[in-house]
């Protein structure tokens, strides 16, 4: 059966004499309390009848079921606990706004940072507590807030590149890319500090790139294609220098993966180790190399230039 001896019940061997006149008998098998109000398990009871040289066996199935009264009581207590938790979360939501005005420290820098970040603190306090309604309101609100902030940062980065006189492709791979990737960078840093392995930190970066490439490009193109089709037009978008950019990025990505693998086999881990500062500097050089080579291509120093501007 599904019951486990020693956990759900105590296995016993009982020798009991039953005569032909006995219509009923009792067999005591201790049932262990596993403190679960939802239980439905079974085990087998083997009855062996020895009469002379003949042995006959009969197997009975014994079911361990829940106590209906206890189940109803426990479910009622759980409902009360959920209601009290929601009330506490509602109060905690208001407490988040109160905590925004608390200044951590008493130095001039603490007061300055509090003044500069008070808007973002209030914006973050608008997100419901994570324990409220199973965490879904917090997840949806945080996702929408991240998207809004990313859109604002991307627009400001584009304006900064335009004021600086940079072409649109260079602005896209520098200011816009930095502005939209900083949340991912901070998330990877936080995960790397809290987790025991590097899977979540590296997976956050690769997962973000998957969303950018497959969803961030595919969904707008799909919507644009459908829209153009309804108007009887053919949707075309030229690639430009896409091949050069993708090949350059692929080479840099392979070098980065090679450094991670080399660190794994020499030190035993992807992140950290005695050469962590060297690897960090090498990754920075890869990013800088990609920016320089892509910019040279855009401005015509490598192959044909691009005429895109503000």
| pLDDT number for residue 91 | 63
Q: Express each pLDDT in 127-178 by its tens digit.
A: 888 777 778 888 899 888 888 887 887 788 778 888 888 888 888 888 888 8
Can you tell me the distance from the alpha carbon of 285 to that of 289, in angstroms, rounded to the nearest whole number?
6
Summarize the confidence of residues 271-279 as an average pLDDT: 81
Query: Which has the minimum average pLDDT: 43-52, 233-242, 285-294?
Result: 43-52
Q: For residue 114, what pLDDT is reported?
A: 84
305 band by pLDDT with thresholds 50, 70 and 90: low
pTM value > 0.75 = no
- Residue 27 reports pLDDT greater than 70: yes
List Cβ neighbours of 117 (8 Å cut-off, separation of 6 or more): none
Tell me the pLDDT tens digit for each residue of 35-55: 665 667 777 777 776 565 455
pLDDT given at position 250: 92
Q: What is the pLDDT of residues 59-93, one digit of tens each?
A: 777 777 766 777 777 778 778 877 776 666 656 77
pLDDT at 290: 93
CA distances from 20 to 27, 40, 284 (A): 17, 34, 90
């Amino acid at each position: 059966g599904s019951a486990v001896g020693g956990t759900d019940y105590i296995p016993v061997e009982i020798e009991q004499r039953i005569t032909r006149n006995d219509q009923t008998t009792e067999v005591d098998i201790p049932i262990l309390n596993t403190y679960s109000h939802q239980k439905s398990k079974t085990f087998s009871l083997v009855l062996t009848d020895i009469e002379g040289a003949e042995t006959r066996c009969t197997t009975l199935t014994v079911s361990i079921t829940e106590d209906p009264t206890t189940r109803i009581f426990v479910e009622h207590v759980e409902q009360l606990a959920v209601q009290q938790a929601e009330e506490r979360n509602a109060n905690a939501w208001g407490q988040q706004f109160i905590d925004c005005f608390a200044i951590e420290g008493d130095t001039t820098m603490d007061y300055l940072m509090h003044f500069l970040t008070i808007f973002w603190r209030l914006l973050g306090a608008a997100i419901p507590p994570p324990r409220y309604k199973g965490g879904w309101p917090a997840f949806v609100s945080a996702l929408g807030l991240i998207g809004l902030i990313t859109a604002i940062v991307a627009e400001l980065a584009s304006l900064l590149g335009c004021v600086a006189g940079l072409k649109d492709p260079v602005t896209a791979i520098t200011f816009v890319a930095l502005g939209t990737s900083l949340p991912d960078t901070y998330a990877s840093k936080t995960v790397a500090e809290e987790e025991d392995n590097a899977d979540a930190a590296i997976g956050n970066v690769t997962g973000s790139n998957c969303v950018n490439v497959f969803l961030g490009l595919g969904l707008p193109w799909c919507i644009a294609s459908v829209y153009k089709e309804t108007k009887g037009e053919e949707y075309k978008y030229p690639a430009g220098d896409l091949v050069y950019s993708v090949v350059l990025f692929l080479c840099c990505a392979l070098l980065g993966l090679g450094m991670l693998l080399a660190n794994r086999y020499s030190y035993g881990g992807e992140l950290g180790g005695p050469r962590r500062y060297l690897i960090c500097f090498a990754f920075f050089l890869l990013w800088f190399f990609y920016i320089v080579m892509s910019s040279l291509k855009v401005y015509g120093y490598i192959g044909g230039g691009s005429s895109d501007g503000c």
